[in-house]
Amino acid sequence: MREQVRRAFAVCPIEVGIAVAGGDWKLTIVSKLAEGTHRFGALQRAVGPVSAKTLARQLQALEEDGVVLRVAHAEVPPRVEYSLTEAGVELAKIGEALGRWSAAYLPEPEPVGVLPAADDASLGA
Amino acid sequence: MREQVRRAFAVCPIEVGIAVAGGDWKLTIVSKLAEGTHRFGALQRAVGPVSAKTLARQLQALEEDGVVLRVAHAEVPPRVEYSLTEAGVELAKIGEALGRWSAAYLPEPEPVGVLPAADDASLGA
DNA sequence: CCGTATCCTGATGGATACTG
DNA sequence: CAGTATCCATCAGGATACGG
């Protein structure tokens, strides 16, 4: 378990959860792994615009906190597969809930330059 | 809505949720407010070892993201009361779920200096 | 292919002192 | 009481180059 997580225990369980899941990309990584085992490269493409360094670090942190499982195959070229532990599966559900929450309560900002479609009313009498 | 949140929309809803709730103390603040309206000072004591500056900033962010409601009373001495919006109430539920998750899956680290109780087995044959 | 090493930047968060 | 201003340390995260 990481030091950051250990320190959060002194405060409250919610902060522990934030310490584990709070970093950028982390819950997205977990939600992608909830769909199935991914290799490193596939995961990077699935998650979005995340750098390899950051993805690797977040995966290490998640592994150390018991959320993801890492299996390296001794092959050439190398193949490393990531999946969820039981704790990870449960955490993924919370991630899904958070995604639903933001979709429900935070209106997507209109992209700049996109005008609302004209309808009959806007054409006047 | 804050710029950080706006950018997260380009990735996925989960990252939006992280952008809103991911900061240190934020979910703890929300969970405390779920127990009822708090004044600034009371909230600071309830949350834990958070500095006034950080608490004020997190509250501003949460207000801007539509999670908390801030009501300032024109009195001397000043009185400011914080409470949750409907979105905040829902977010608090996710915070509770995260707290339960960490309590269930992350074993509390033993405080340094505490030794496991000796039992018969440890005394050897 | 799967990372790590290095360097860099900006954001976060605490301490302290101060204001309305 | 409820913050804000300033300074500061730390760290998260990206870019690039390189190693196994």
Interval A74-90: pLDDT, tens: 888 899 999 999 999 99
Q: Is the minimum CB–CB distance between A21 and chain B shorter than 8 Å?
A: yes
Q: How far is the CA of A97 from the C1' of D14 (A)?
A: 29
Domains identified in chain B and CATH numbers: 25-105 (1.10.10.10)
Interval A30-80: pLDDT, tens: 999 999 999 999 999 999 899 999 999 999 999 999 999 999 998 888 999
Q: Can you give the pTM of this predicted structure? A: 0.85
- Coil, helix or strand for A19? helix
Q: Distance (Å, rounded) from C-alpha A78 to C-alpha A72?
A: 8
Q: Is the minimum CB–CB distance between A6 and chain B shorter than 8 Å?
A: yes
- Coil, helix or strand for A4? helix
pLDDT band at A3 (very low <50, low <70, confident <90, very high): confident
Asked whether the predicted pLDDT for residue A116 surpasses 70, the reply is no
Q: In angstroms, what CA-CA distances link A29 with A48, A102, B12?
A: 10, 17, 11
The residue of chain B nearest to residue A3, with distances taken between CA atoms, is B109
Count of A-B CB contacts under 8 Å: 135
> How high is the pLDDT of residue B40?
96
Closest alpha carbon to C1' of C11, residue:
B4
Dihedral of the CA atoms B99, B101, B107, B113 (nearest 10)?
Answer: -10
Closest alpha carbon to C1' of C2, residue:
A78
Interval A93-110: pLDDT, tens: 999 999 999 999 998 766
